[in-house]
Amino acid sequence: MPAYGIVGAQWGDEGKGKVVDFLAEEADVVVRYSGGSNAGHTVINEKGEFALHLIPSGIFRPHVDAVIGPGVVLDPVVLLGELESLNERGVDTSRLFISDHTHIVMPYHIMLDQLEEQARGNNAIGTTGRGIGPTYVDKVARTGIRLGDLLDETYLASRLENVVAQKNRLLTRVFDADPIDFDALLAQVRSWGNALRPYVASVEHRILDRLARGARVVLEGAQGAMLDLDHGTYPYVTSSSVSIGGACTGLGISPREIVGIIGVFKAYSTRVGAGPMTTELDDEVGHDIRERAWEYGTTTGRPRRVGWFDGLAARYSATINGFTSAVLTRLDVLDGIDPVKICTAYEADGKRIHRFPSEPGLLERATPIWEEMPGWSAPTAGITDISQLPPEASAYVRRIEDVIGCPIDLISTGPRRDESIVVRPIILR
Ligand code: GDP
Ligand code: IMO
Ligand code: MG
């Protein structure tokens, strides 16, 4: 019954795609459990370089079932485009299964995401504009359309008619926007239903059956814990449960099935979109890291904000998720930077703060207290054996381990699958 949760531990883009593609060698099933096409997971392996938004990063392993779970919101246009491009590049997608409970991102959700962002003015969240928030709003408001609904044309038409009438009142009267044409939308949604029919499955039963038979199931998270709707830096968060709890609610499995909770951390910090980021670097070092690591969004192409490793946010993330292992990615990006810094406390209102604060406004006022460590001049890029790491890089890894309070079992030294140091095996046979 072993399930392993892979959770983004910071603000997203930690390298979850690379890590899941690597770990999937030992897995039987890989399931995406939350978020939607706001995610962009980069995988580089022998088949090439891929940016996945919805399809689980285990899809490249011929022995793995790739599953999109019910907690995901599904944009059929993005999914069908992704399937086409994978097939064109020789990747077999016949083992993709999608829950009939996934909520569909409709064109009106994408319109509303953009209109609401404009209306927020200076308080804009900096969403990816992919309709994610409005789709989860409809799910909670019980006006969502689910993938299973697309397979019953009569039910779909009656339900969609009512929803579109409501959305058109909102679009025209509140936002002064054009209404949606119901007939055109219905035709489009029906065509999505026909195209996706072969992939639709009752995946909850499938996963539970596989777990009962001893299959190893990897739960692929999206975003990062600091963007979690409940636990992140609200309101600058995404609209789903990013943390490990979301894997249980988003899939319908018991927490008892999860034997490993793996937090993926980048060796420094990045954030896309608005919201507090205490360790942000507005100087040349930040600029240098952004350019050398090409820190630009996989989904939107926006420059990512860059900063040193935030020990308070990382410890908080490790605590709320209960990580059993950590993965440290992009260590190679820090090659040649001297010194390297870790934020181990904040200062605000004349006081030292040692825990990630929850009081409103405190995070915005906090300044970082740095711990400096010597950098390393010998490259770590591409190293696969821990004994080859320069001693200063080893010391940096050990210090991060102390700060987050959890062992680092995998170190990533490059974007390719094999540029990885296995410190201790994470998925046990
Ligand atoms: P995800 O959303 O967590 O899957 O991460 P993204 O794919 O959005 O961003 C991570 C970026 O870092 C991608 O461009 C990866 O190819 C790259 N990457 C992952 N691990 C490493 C690493 O260890 N070193 C370097 N240099 N790049 C990495
Ligand atoms: P992966 O899975 C980084 C951010 C957006 C914005 C906030 C809300 O690739 O790590 P949304 O469109 O979700 O309503 O935007 O969340 N965001 C991400 N940042 N990586 C992601 O996914 C993200 N998904 C959403 O930039 O700040
Ligand atoms: Mg990403």
Question: DSSP class of residue 304?
Answer: P
pLDDT of residue 300: 84
Distance 12 CA to ligand 3 centre (A): 6
Q: Find out whether the beta carbon of 156 lies less than 6 Å from any atom of ligand 2.
A: no
Distance CA 358, CA 364 (A): 11
Distance 41 CA to ligand 1 centre (A): 8
Distance CA 303, CA 280 (A): 13
* Identity of the amino acid at 256: R
**Percentage of the chain lying above the pLDDT 70 cut:** 100
Read off the pLDDT of each residue in 225-235 and give the average, rounded to a whole number. 97
Average pLDDT, whole number, for the chain? 96
Residue 87 has φ and ψ, to the nearest 5°, of -65, -40
Q: Find out whether the beta carbon of 13 lies less than 6 Å from any atom of ligand 1.
A: yes
The answer to whether 345 and 312 have CB atoms below 8 angstroms apart is yes
Cis peptide before 425 (omega within 30 of 0): no
pLDDT of residue 147: 98
Distance CA 345, CA 353 (A): 6
Closest CA to ligand 1's atom 26: 414
Q: pTM for the whole thing?
A: 0.97
Distance 299 CA to ligand 3 centre (A): 7
pLDDT at 189 over 80: yes
Q: How would residue 299 be classed by pLDDT, with cut points 50, 70 and 90?
A: confident
Beta strands in 160-257 (DSSP E): 200-201, 217-220
Cis peptide before 339 (omega within 30 of 0): yes
41 labelled catalytic: yes
Q: Find out whether the beta carbon of 333 lies less than 6 Å from any atom of ligand 1.
A: yes
Other CB atoms within 10 A of residue 184 CB: 10
Distance 428 CA to ligand 1 centre (A): 24
Choose the residue to mutate in 34, 330, 397, 419 for probing ligand 1, maximizing ligand atoms within 8 Å of C-beta.
Answer: 330
Coil, strand, or helix at residue 190?
Answer: helix
Q: Please write the tens of the pLDDT for every residue from 252-281.
A: 899 999 999 999 999 999 999 999 999 999
Read off the pLDDT of each residue in 203-224 and give the average, rounded to a whole number. 92
Q: Which atom in ligand 1 lies closest to the alpha carbon of residue 42?
A: 7
Question: DSSP class of residue 128?
Answer: -
Tokens of 271: 């954030």
pLDDT of residue 208: 86
Q: Please write the tens of the pLDDT for every residue from 326-364.
A: 999 999 999 999 999 999 999 999 999 999 998 889 999
Contacts 24+ apart (CB under 8 A), 394-402: 396/267, 396/331, 396/334, 396/340, 396/342, 397/328, 397/331, 399/342, 399/371, 399/373, 400/265, 400/267, 400/309, 400/311, 400/314, 400/326, 400/328, 400/342, 401/326
pLDDT of residue 204: 87
The answer to whether 346 and 353 have CB atoms below 8 angstroms apart is yes
Q: Find out whether the beta carbon of 8 lies less than 6 Å from any atom of ligand 2.
A: yes
From the candidates 21, 28, 41, 65, give the one annotated as an active-site residue.
41
Ligand nearest to the CA of 11: 2
Q: How would residue 173 be classed by pLDDT, with cut points 50, 70 and 90?
A: very high
Ligand nearest to the CA of 268: 1
Distance CA 321, CA 265 (A): 13
Read off the pLDDT of each residue in 81-99 and give the average, rounded to a whole number. 97
Tokens of 385: 């054996």
Strands 367-373 and 309-310: unpaired
Ligand nearest to the CA of 35: 2
Instruction: Name residues whose C-beta falls within 8 Å of residue 36's C-beta, 6 or more positions apart in sequence.
Output: 53, 54, 72, 73, 74, 75, 105, 130, 131, 132, 135, 222
Helix, strand, coil shares of the chain, percent, nearest 5, are 40, 20, 40
Q: Find out whether the beta carbon of 310 lies less than 6 Å from any atom of ligand 1.
A: no
Q: Please write the tens of the pLDDT for every residue from 358-416.
A: 888 999 999 999 999 999 999 999 999 999 999 999 999 999 999 999 999 999 999 99
Read off the pLDDT of each residue in 133-143 and give the average, rounded to a whole number. 98
Tokens of 201: 């499955």
With the CA atoms of 355, 127, 132 and 66 taken in that order, what torsion angle do they form, in degrees rounded to the nearest 10? -70
Distance CA 45, CA 412 (A): 14
pLDDT of residue 364: 94
Distance 189 CA to ligand 3 centre (A): 28
Identify the burial level of 190 via C-beta atoms within 10 angstroms of its C-beta, where 0-12 means exposed, 13-18 middle and 19 or more buried: middle
Write out the residues surrounding ion ligand 3, Cβ under 5 A. 13, 40, 298
From the candidates 13, 149, 228, 332, give the one annotated as an active-site residue.
13
Distance 212 CA to ligand 3 centre (A): 32
pLDDT of residue 371: 98
pLDDT of residue 206: 86
Other CB atoms within 10 A of residue 141 CB: 9
| Whole-number Cα distances in Å, 348 to 58, 231, 314, 357, 362 | 43, 21, 19, 10, 7
Residue found under tokens 């599904």 = 74
Rg, the chain, Cα only: 22
149 labelled catalytic: no
Q: Find out whether the beta carbon of 10 lies less than 6 Å from any atom of ligand 1.
A: no
Distance CA 71, CA 220 (A): 12
Q: Find out whether the beta carbon of 133 lies less than 6 Å from any atom of ligand 2.
A: yes
Distance CA 16, CA 40 (A): 9
Choose the residue to mutate in 128, 132, 138, 306 for probing ligand 2, maximizing ligand atoms within 8 Å of C-beta.
Answer: 128
Distance 31 CA to ligand 1 centre (A): 19
pLDDT of residue 1: 59
Which H/E stretch holds residue 19?
helix 16-23
Identify the burial level of 377 via C-beta atoms within 10 angstroms of its C-beta, where 0-12 means exposed, 13-18 middle and 19 or more buried: exposed
Q: Which atom in ligand 1 lies closest to the alpha carbon of residue 8?
A: 3
Residue found under tokens 């018991």 = 254
* Identity of the amino acid at 322: G
